[in-house]
A and B are shown apart, each in its own frame.
Chain A
Amino acid sequence: MKKIIQFSKFFPVAVVLSAVIIIAGIASVAARGINFGLDFKPGMIEEIKIADAVLEVTYNGTATVSLETSDDGIELVVSGIGEENRTVLIPYSEVSTVSEVAAKINSVNGVSARIKKEASLPKEGLFVNSGSSKNLGEKPLNLFVADENSTVSADDVRDTLKAFDDVDVKEVGAASARSFQIRMGVTGDEGKTLQADANKALTDKFGADKVAFVKSDFIGAQFSQSLIRDSIILVLATLVLIFIYSAIRFHWDFALAAVIAIVHDALIMVSFISFIRMEFSTTTLAAILTIIGYSINATVVILDRVRSDIKVVEAKTFKEILNSALSSTLSRSIITTVTTLFAVLALFFFTTGTIHDFSLALTVGLISGCYSSIFIAGAFILAVRKNQKFQTIAANPNVSQFKAEESDSE
C-alpha cells in the first residue's frame, strides 16, 4: 500500500500562515500603496540615451530606400521605381570608422551620408532615434554612436526636467551606457504636449545631436481609467465563471474551495508585489490572471481525485479520503510545479523589463498555487465536510456520488 501523508494535520498551521502573510500584505498596500505602472497611472515613460550624432543620411530619388540598424550592421533596402531592387548590407565587421560607413552608404544611388563627427565604431555600432522614419528622404536621418566620454548623470537629466511635476529619472544599465528612463505623471490636459515639451527641454540642454530617444510610451488619463474598470470586471467575471463551471462539474463546496484557493493566490501575489515594490502594470495583472488559471488547474486535479476516491477508497471519515487523495496527487503537484518553474525561470533569466517582473510574480504565484491547492482548498473542504460519514458508500459502491453527497451534506 501506498504511504498516506496526514496533510490534514498541517491545515491549521497553513491557514494561520496564509492569513498572516495576507494581512501583512493588505497592511503594506494600505500603508504604502501600490507602485502602479504606466497602464494604470497615466503619464509618460521615455528612454533616452546621451549619444553623438555622427552621420546624417538623406535621399533624393524616386525609389523607396529604408535604413535599419541592428547589432550586426546597417541594412539599406532599395525598392521601387528607378532603382534595381536590392538589399545593401554594411556589417560592422567590415567597417571600423564612421567615414567608412559613410562611404558605403554613399555608394547607393541617390543616398548621401554627411559626416557630422568622425569616430571609430564601438562594438554596439550605430543606432537611430526610435521616433524617426526608416524611409529616407529629404529630412535627414541621424545615426548615433554611444558617447563614452559624456559625464551626464541621472541628476543632470532630473535637473533639466525640474520644471515639470512628478518626474522620476533613473539610469538604465551601466552608468557608462548613459541611458536614462524618464517617467512623468500627467493630470488633465497637459498630456498632449508633455512629451514634446520634455523632449525640447532635453535637446535644448544637451544639444539636438546629443540625445537619442530609444523608446517612449504615453498613456492618457481617460484610457487608464477605463483600463482599471475593465480589469476589475474581468477578474470578477473570471472568478464567477470558474465557480459556475466547477459547481456544475463537482459540488458547490468544492467549487467554493477552488475559488478560495484562487483568491488566496491572488492576494499572496498582490502582497508580494507590494512587499518588493514591484511595478503593477497590465503585465503584472496578466501574471495574476495566469496564476488564477494555473491554480484552478492544480485544485481541480486534486478535487477530481477526491471525488473518484470517494467511490473507491474504503474510509470512515472524509478526512481519510482527503489525505489519501492529496497523497496520491502529491508527486503530480510537485512535478508540474517544478516543470512550470523551469519554463518561468528561463523567462526570468533571459528577459528584462516587464517580462522579467512578470516571471518573478509568476514564480511566487506558482509556489503559492501549488501550496494553496493542497492546504487551503483542503482545509476548506474538510471544514465543510467534517461530519460526512461513508459507511453507506463503502457498502454500496454503485450509489452515485452526487446523491450521496447531497443527502449527507444537507
Chain B
Amino acid sequence: MNKRSRFIIILVVLAVCFAFLWPSISWYARTPKDQQTLALGSLEKIKDYTVVKAKEESDKLIALAKANPETALDPSYDYLVKAAKKNYKETAKAYKAAGLEAPKTPEVMSVAAVLDSFTGDSALADLRAVIEGKYRDEILAAKKRYNSSVKLGLDLSGGMNVIVHADLDAALASQKKDNEVADEAQFKKDAMAQAIETLTGRIDKFGLTSPVIRQQGEDRIYIEIPGAADSESVNTIIMGKGILNFRLVDENATAAVMNYYRQNGILFNSDGKLLDPSILPADCEVMGFYEKDDYGLDQLVRGAEYIAVKKEIALDGKHVKSAQVSADQTTNQPEVNFVLDSEGAQIFADFTGTHVNERLAIVSDNKIKSAATIRQAINGGQVSLSGGFSVEEAQNIQKVLQTAWLEVPLEVESQQVVGASLGEAAIRQGMNALTWGLATVLVFMILYYLGAGFNAVVAQILNMYIMFSVLSAFNLTLTLSSIAGMILTVGMSVDANVIIFERIKEELKNGKSRAAAVAAGFDNAFWAIMDSNITTFIAAAFLSKLGTGSIQGFAVSLAIGVCSSVFTALVVSRLMFDFNTEVMNRKTMSIGWGVK
C-alpha cells in the first residue's frame, strides 16, 4: 500500500472515531444538567412536560399578541416563525387552487402575524402542536445522545446496583401443585420473562433516572440505578409481592379527573400525590390506564390516561386460577377466559350481579391494565373478557392475570450502594492516574528513543482517542477498573513500539540505511507483535466473559486497547517513519542515544 492510501485509511479511522465520540462529548459537555434530567425521565414524563410547556408558551404568546401585536419575536422562536411562513404558503396555495386571490403574507413576522397564520377551528391546537413538537424533539434528541454515549459506571457516578436471584424451581414447584406443566424449560423462560417485566413495571413507576434492568445468566436479574436512589424503597419494590385485584370504576370521578387533567396537563406532584385532592371522592383513587406500545413498554392510553377506581377491592387476584386467550366462536374476536376458585366465583357472582353495566378494572401493581363493562351477572367462576382488543392486547391481559398464581420468589443476592460524592472522588483519582501514567510513559519514550519516541507518543495519543471512541460506539460503561485497563494498555501498547524500535536499532547497527532498517524492523517485528497481542487478546476476551462489572470493564478496555495499539503501532507509526524518509528525505535516524 502506498503512503497516500495508508494516510487516507488513518484519516477515515479517525473520522469514524470522532463520529462515535461526538454524542458523548455533546452529552457530557454541551447538555445542561436540567436538560439531562428531563431527557433521562420516562417518555410519559416527557410527554406531560411538553404538553404543559406548549400550553404555557401559547398562552404567553396570545397574551403578548393582545397587548402588543407588533412585537418582533425573540430569535428563540425562529421555529415558530418558520412554521408560520409555511402556513402562509399553504394558505396561499389553497386560495390559488380555489381560484381566489391569496391574502398577502406579512413581511415582518410579528407576534400577531405568526399567530394569525394558524387558522381554522384547530388553530390553537395546531399552534400548541408546533411548540410541543419543538420541545419534544429537543428532549428526544438529548435522550438519543445519551443513549449513544459512554456511560459512567456506578463507582464513578454513584448509585446502586442489585442482583436479584429468581427462584425458578420454587415457582415451578408451586405451579405443579395446581396445574400441569408440559414444558419445564419453557415454563422457566416464561416465568423469568414475567419476573423481569413485573420488576421493570414497578421500577419504571418509581420514576428513577434511566434504570437498567436486564437478565444475567439463566436466573438472575441485574438492576442498576445510577445517580442516587432510596435504597430502602428500591428493596421494597424488588421484594414486594405483586398486587393484582379487580376494582369498580367510578365514572363520575373519572370524568372529573380527566377534565382536570385536560385543563392542567398534570395531575400529580413530584411525590405522586394529587395536586388537587378535592376533585376526587374519598373512597376513590386515581391510577394510570396503561397499554403496551410497539416496543412492549407500558404507556398511558391516549385519551383515557387516568381512571378513578374505588379503593374497595371487588375481588382479590389470588382467586384467579388460570387464564387463556382464545377466539370467540361466532365473531372470531380474541377473548381472555379466566377461571376463579369457588370462593372467588361466589364473590364475583354477587358483585357482578349488583353492578351490571358498570366498568370493572383489572389493577396490577397500581396500574390499570383493563377496564371492561360488566354485561351480566357472572356465575360459576368462568369469566370471559372480550371486545375491543387485539390478540396482542388479549395476551397482555392474560399475562397480567397470570401474575396471580405464578409468583416467582425473588431474592437479593448482591447489592451495592455508592454515594455520588464518592464517585466524584473516584473520577478524580482515575483521571490523575491516567494523566500521570500517560505523561511518564510518554516522557520516558521521548527521552529514550528521541525522534522515534515522538512517533510512539503520537501513536499512544491516537490509541487513547480510539479507545474512548470504541467505548462510546458500543455504549460501554466507563468504570474505575476500565480506566485502570486503559492505563495498563498504555504501558503494554508501548511494547509494540519498543519491539519495533529495538529491531530497527539492530538493523541500523548492522549497517543498513534508514529506509532498509525501518522496513526490516517492521517486518521482523510483525509476528512478534501479532502473536503477543493475539494471546493477550485471548486472555482479555475471556476475562470480559466473567459476569461481574469490575473485571468486565477492565477486560473490555484491555481488549479494545490491544486492537487499537496494533493499529497505531503497525500503521500510524510506520507511516510517520516512511513519511520522514521519503518525503522529508531524512537519511539518518533519531532512535536513541549513540545510534545514527
Contacts and interface: CB of A to CB of B under 8 A. Distances in A.
B417 A79 contact: no
Given A223-B165, A339-B494, A350-B433, A297 B532 contact: yes
A277 interface: no
A358 interface: yes
Given A81-B49, A246-B535, A293-B535, A217 B416 contact: yes
Interface in B260-292: 265-266, 268-271, 273, 275
Contacts of A68: 228, 420
Top 9 A-B residue pairs of the complex, sorted by shortest distance between their CB atoms: A340-B491, A130-B419, A346-B437, A293-B539, A343-B491, A131-B231, A85-B34, A350-B433, A343-B437
A294 B506 contact: no
Nearest to A302: B528
Interface residues of A, number: 103
A349 B436 CA distance: 10
A245 B535 contact: yes
Interface of B (DSSP majority class): helix
B266 A77 contact: no
Contacts of B36: 77
A119 interface: no
B416 A216 contact: yes
A64 B437 contact: no
Contact of B495 (A65, A219, A230, A336): A336
B191 to A, nearest CB: 18
Given A77-B37, A296-B532, A62 B543 contact: no
Contact of B417 (A70, A138, A216): A216
Contact of A245 (B231, B445, B538): B538
A64 B498 contact: no
19 contacts: A61-B270, A66-B37, A77-B34, A82-B52, A129-B419, A132-B228, A132-B230, A139-B230, A216-B231, A222-B413, A230-B547, A289-B555, A294-B492, A296-B535, A301-B499, A342-B440, A344-B437, A355-B480, A359-B484
Among B45, B419, B420, B424, chain A packs the most CB atoms within 10 A around the CB of B419
Nearest to A356: B429
Contacts, number: 302
A347 B441 CA distance: 13
Given A77-B37, A343-B488, A336 B498 contact: yes
A82 B538 contact: no
B41 A64 contact: yes
Contact of A81 (B52, B273, B499): B52
B436 A350 contact: yes
Contact of A131 (B232, B438, B547): B232
A121 interface: no
Nearest to A223: B413
A232 to B, nearest CB: 11
A409 interface: no
A286 B550 contact: yes
B113 interface: no
B569 interface: no
Contacts of A138: 271, 273
B538 A339 contact: no
Interface of B: 32-38, 41, 45, 48-49, 52-53, 158, 160, 163, 165, 207, 227-233, 265-266, 268-271, 273, 275, 411-422, 424-425, 429-430, 432-434, 436-438, 440-441, 444-445, 448, 480-481, 484, 487-488, 490-492, 494-495, 498-499, 502, 506, 509, 524, 527-528, 531-536, 538-540, 542-543, 545-548, 550-551, 554-555, 558
A352 interface: yes
Contacts of A230: 546-547
B230 A133 contact: yes
A87 B494 CA distance: 43
Nearest to A59: B270
A123 interface: no
A250 to B, nearest CB: 8
Given A131-B230, A297-B536, A301-B532, A286 B543 contact: yes
A407 interface: no
A78 B33 CA distance: 9
Contact of B32 (A82, A87, A134, A216): A87
A71 B51 CA distance: 37
Best-surrounded residue of A283, A344, A351, A362 (most CB of chain B within 10 A)? A351
Given A62-B269, A238-B539, A218 B418 contact: no
B285 to A, nearest CB: 17
